[in-house]
Structure 1
């Protein structure tokens, strides 16, 4: 009888520890915000390589990281096409779980040639279903290249299939200062990003327009201070931090956004 009671006590104790472990595990499990994109999201290793910074290096400053993880998987030089065809997306997708978020920004490199010998990273303009059978000189084989919108739809649909939430950002504007004046122009890829987000019912941050709105009320010298002197695309630390703040501003304006609930 005493032996049976001892066994029963041990079983209860084991069950208690198992239950407690499950509770602790659930408490520690947090959603993750994955970032994908080009060098304007993460340049190099995201540590200011060459004084060039992407806004993804600072977006975590605006979130309560006790409640959500931030993982920046963007890679410089990529387009919506090469992020997929070079296996980068598959490496991120396998980590995504239900309740996570994926914020994406592509466009700058999508306007490159489809089949140049330097990168072969361009996409067909627009959001339609067009395709082109192209010889890829980098991989030395034929490749069917699709539209920007079709690659973006694949990201969106893959994320939704995982039970996660996609968030599309239009790409940041390039340096608009020309001859001492701020010259703001429309960006086709920013427009296409918005169109595909609307068509797929995905959250959209009009990052390109939000940043241009800020530039429009500043003198050219102030706008120039956001950019590196090395090229007309990449921001310095000050510019990247401002762009991150604009991402958050855009998130806050989305009424149905679940992601903004994790902001500080």
Structure 2
């Protein structure tokens, strides 16, 4: 009787291993949508610490997760420059395979100083080929800093080389409520993101404009309700969910990008 029970246990173990292996293989076979960006894509660990949320925490709700994986690799405080120079991009790039998608949203932190002692994360304004040799006080060494467009093109080139599909997203607008009014302004980085995407012939989601179009039809109180009270940049859960829905709307509007086929 003991030998039969042992044999049955071994059969159950073998079946479990085979089943688990099939799940793992199926998971690997699915394409992955990677998200890279700053805290407005993923704040902290993406769990709403301090009631601050990024839209990347909710975008998977709009996709068929049986057919595509969504991996949010954004990190708060990063710019298009420091996401690369601080070693965040390389391990993500190593995971990207043919048929995957990478959606990028940078801009908020690119406007910071190039060589301040707090972050040293800024990029040269624009999308040209200018560069500047600076002393990085954080890393205590010289560094050649390029334009916002240069770093965005580097992402795009790396993604294309892996056989994956890059998608550029313009950054979300900051809180536009001023003195009880909704004051919508143009964003240079949103324009530069679009210009880079056009030049590199990759898809672009005008998230900045999509959100502003939504805000234009709301009262100041309604817009304010989407933002945290801690600063003028970060959204709360409601704001992040709204932005995620508009990202999905932007994906759906893309003419021939296969990512839209994975939407619910």
TM-score (norm 1): 0.90
Kindly provide the CA deviation profile for residues 123-170 of structure 1, in whole angstroms up to 9, marking residues without a partner as x: 001110000000000000000000000000000000000000001100
Q: Distance in 2 between matches of 1:25 and 1:173?
A: 39
Q: Superposition pairs for residues 84-99 of structure 1, below 5 Å?
A: 84-99=84-99
Aligned to 1:262: 262
Q: Distance in 1 between matches of 2:241 and 2:230?
A: 18
Aligned to 1:30: 30
Aligned to 2:59: 59
Q: Could you list the runs of 5+ residues in structure 2 that have no partner in the other structure?
A: 1-20
Partner SS state of residue 94, structure 1: helix
Q: Distance in 2 between matches of 1:24 and 1:249?
A: 30
**Is structure 2 residue 182 aligned with structure 1 residue 182?**
yes
Aligned to 1:148: 148
Q: Could you list the runs of 5+ residues in structure 1 that have no partner in the other structure?
A: 1-21
Partner SS state of residue 222, structure 1: helix
Q: Distance in 2 between matches of 1:77 and 1:27?
A: 34
Q: Distance in 2 between matches of 1:91 and 1:110?
A: 22
Aligned to 2:49: 49
Partner SS state of residue 46, structure 2: coil
**Is structure 2 residue 233 aligned with structure 1 residue 236?**
no
Kindly provide the CA deviation profile for residues 95-148 of structure 1, in whole angstroms up to 9, marking residues without a partner as x: 000000000000000000000000000000111000000000000000000000
In the TM superposition, what is the alpha-carbon distance from 1:90 to its structure 2 partner?
A: 0.4
In the TM superposition, what is the alpha-carbon distance from 1:258 to its structure 2 partner?
A: 1.0
TM-score (norm 2): 0.90
Aligned to 1:40: 40
RMSD: 1.6
Aligned to 2:191: 191
In the TM superposition, what is the alpha-carbon distance from 1:25 to its structure 2 partner?
A: 7.3
Q: Distance in 2 between matches of 1:221 and 1:26?
A: 49
Q: Superposition pairs for residues 3-152 of structure 1, below 5 Å?
A: 27-28=26-27, 29-152=29-152
Superposed structure 1 runs of 4+ greater than 6 Å apart: 22-26
Aligned to 1:161: 161
In the TM superposition, what is the alpha-carbon distance from 1:215 to its structure 2 partner?
A: 0.3
In the TM superposition, what is the alpha-carbon distance from 1:24 to its structure 2 partner?
A: 8.1
In the TM superposition, what is the alpha-carbon distance from 1:253 to its structure 2 partner?
A: 1.0
Which has the larger Rg?
1
Q: Distance in 1 between matches of 2:108 and 2:82?
A: 12
Q: Distance in 1 between matches of 2:198 and 2:85?
A: 25
